Amino acid sequence: MKQQTPDFQVQAFFKQQITKPGAPTTDEQKLQQRVWKMSIFRNTVWFVKGLQEYTKSGYEAAAKHFAPADLDVNLSGRSFMITGANSGIGKATAQEIANRGGIVHLVCRNKGRAEAAKEQIVEQSKNQNVHVHIVDMSSARQVWEFAQSFSQNNGLHVLINNAGCMVNDRELTEEGLEKNFATNTLGTYILTTALMPALKKAEDPRVVTVSSGGMLTHKLNVDDLQFEKGTFDGTMAYAQNKRQQVILTERWASQHKEIHFSSMHPGWADTPAVQSSMPSFHAKMQSRLRTEAMGADTVVWLAVSQAAVKQPSGLFFQDRKAVATHLPLACSRSSPQEEEKLQAVLEELALKFKP
């Protein structure tokens, strides 16, 4: 039986719209058809790749080549901030860091869930240095205020940008921003840039951003960052956001040499976010999905191991290895001008909400 991700389902709809029988073929429709064919190519290659590499069996195959000693570290005295840390990959990451003695700052939206996660992490790790901060990452002003306050009162060695959302209907925040973009891209941008001065004061500072292999199916579209044109789809918006995160990681690495930046794909993991945002995909793939700990493994490796910082800054990782950010022949590369525009637009928006 053929497996389908939401990407395939949505693109099937679009194909019907642009290739209706008897419809005249305009230049615009020809362009749409070329885009459609390339999208199908990317998704097909990506899904086959995912079945081989992103599943539980893919992790188990990769793990045979891991060096167990890489994670044999004492993190006492090192401070880690993890966004979206009350469940899933974020919580699993926080647990591993707490187990090794690190100071853990959980940045979460829901106070009740955050306190419950903290209690479980402390109980399992016997590490009392676990702290909760309540922040809505979709609120640009809140993120600014939190980052400024945190920097005044705490040191920070490692920032882990894990929080994310996939809202399937176009929804605006109270600040008038599309919610996926506000959370996944602008929130990440503001938190990272606002904490850079604090990170630069630390020894061996790092920023790890949890992206997604889904971004391989998309080319950066810098002219519609908030998905105001055409039919909205949350899966596509999410993939665009994740492409944006990878590009930002590359740019930050070239601009801030004092900090080691990395982005990564956790694979297809069985998390509450996947269950709620992609129920059809979860139902079909559940037996093949990775555990939360498997999804978190490379995040932890990038955040704590000495092997990770021996890799060049700015790379994209999967199962502790740097991997390509584009599929072969996928025509998904953006120009330097487009990437510069992305950063400029984000900076302008970020300043608009700075207290």
Catalytic residues: 238
DSSP-based three-state secondary structure for 262: strand
**3-state SS assignment for residue 249:** helix
How far is the C-alpha of 158 from the C-alpha of 85, rounded, in Å? 14
Radius of gyration of the chain (CA): 20
Contact 290, 267 (CB under 8 A): yes
Question: From the CB of residue 1, how many other CB atoms can be counted at a distance below 10 Å?
Answer: 4
Q: Which one, of 141, 129, 113, lies nearest residue 81 by Cα?
A: 129
Give the distance from CA 219 to its chain's centroid: 16
Q: How far is CA 201 from CA 5, 103, 127, 198, 205, in A?
A: 43, 17, 25, 5, 8
- Reference 191, options 266, 264, 137, 118; nearest CA is 137
Q: Give the CA-trace dihedral at 151, 155, 156, 157, to 10 degrees.
A: 150
**How far from 207 is each of 11, 45, 193, CA to CA, in Å?**
34, 30, 11
